[in-house]
């Protein structure tokens, strides 16, 4: 499979899943379809961040490009930032395609208000940052492109399926209770559902309990997750890949 075919396949995977679910969910309430679509869209962003980010980094390692990078006046943080920016753009494409698939399958989406816009954008960005950094230690220490291609994306798949579509179908999740408002995959998903899906009775939809994470403390927690991830990722890239110590 060439790189373009691989990229298009990965980008289309979450939207394809949503279209497949739509065939099975005939007669399901609109808000439930919408919630599931958001859960699958976040999975798509996670998968892109883990797979594409990890795969490209592993390719550079196997081709020994970092031996050349170390001889250049290149900042490790700039290298990491550039990779993350590209990953965010691709993750956004996968996310939007899946939301559009949600509309095609009967979902409906609406922003609750102007205050929801920065929350939605921040939740998406922090999710991407966190999951791209998760890929870094696996790829860097395994130094194997196959690990990036097969093993690393499984983290996203297990998180998605193991928490009931990233915490939006609580009856399907073996994990239950308040923890669904704190995990790094379910927290942003449930936050996005609250701000993007026009609904109020979350219990009837199967999204609650627990209560939706609507307070500012939940946004702050996502920021903490992302900051910790960036610190760890920067340290690993600086020390292991650029041989320059633990911090720039």
pLDDT, tens only, 36-86:
999 999 999 999 999 888 888 888 888 888 888 888 888 888 899 999 999
Domain-located, residue 247? no
Domain-located, residue 142? yes
pLDDT at 3: 73
- Band (203; pLDDT cuts 50, 70, 90): very high
Domain-located, residue 12? yes
pLDDT at 2: 59
- Average pLDDT (126-141) is 92
Domain-located, residue 168? yes
Using the predicted structure, report yes or no on whether residue 194 has a pLDDT greater than 90: yes
Using the predicted structure, report yes or no on whether residue 1 has a pLDDT greater than 60: no
For residue 222, the enclosing domain spans: 3-241
How many domains is the chain partitioned into structurally?
A: 1
- Band (248; pLDDT cuts 50, 70, 90): low
Domain-located, residue 211? yes
pLDDT at 244: 86
Burial class (CB in 10 A: 0-12, 13-18, 19+), 163: buried
- Does the pTM of the predicted model rise above 0.75? yes
Using the predicted structure, report yes or no on whether residue 143 has a pLDDT greater than 80: no
Q: What rounded mean pLDDT belongs to the chain? A: 91
Closest CA to 199 of 227, 156, 168: 168
Ranges 34-38, 109-113, 244-248: which has the least confidence: 244-248
Domain-located, residue 38? yes
Domain-located, residue 246? no
Using the predicted structure, report yes or no on whether residue 87 has a pLDDT greater than 90: yes
Residues in the chain: 248
Domain-located, residue 54? yes
């Amino acid at each position: 499979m060439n790189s373009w075919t691989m990229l298009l396949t990965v980008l289309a995977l979450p939207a394809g899943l949503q279209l497949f679910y739509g065939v099975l969910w005939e007669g399901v309430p609109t808000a439930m379809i919408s919630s599931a679509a958001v859960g699958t869209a976040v999975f798509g962003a996670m998968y892109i961040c883990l797979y594409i980010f990890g795969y490209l980094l592993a390719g550079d390692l196997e081709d020994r490009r970092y031996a050349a990078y170390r001889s250049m006046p290149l900042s490790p943080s700039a290298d990491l930032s550039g990779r993350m920016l590209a990953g965010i753009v691709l993750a956004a494409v996968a996310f939007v395609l899946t939301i559009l698939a949600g509309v095609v399958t009967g979902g409906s989406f609406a922003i609750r208000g102007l205050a929801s816009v920065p929350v939605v954008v921040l939740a998406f960005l922090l999710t991407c940052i966190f999951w791209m950094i998760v890929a870094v230690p696996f790829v860097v220490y395994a130094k194997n492109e196959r690990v990036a291609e097969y093993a690393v994306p499984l983290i996203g798949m297990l998180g998605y399926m193991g928490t009931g579509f990233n915490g939006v179908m609580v009856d399907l999740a073996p994990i239950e209770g308040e923890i669904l408002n704190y995990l790094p995959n379910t927290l942003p998903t449930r936050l996005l559902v609250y701000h993007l899906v026009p609904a109020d009775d979350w219990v009837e939809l199967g999204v609650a309990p627990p209560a939706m994470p609507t307070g500012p403390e939940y946004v702050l927690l996502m920021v903490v997750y992302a900051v910790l991830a960036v610190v760890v990722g920067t340290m690993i890239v600086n020390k292991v890949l650029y041989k320059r110590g633990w911090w720039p």
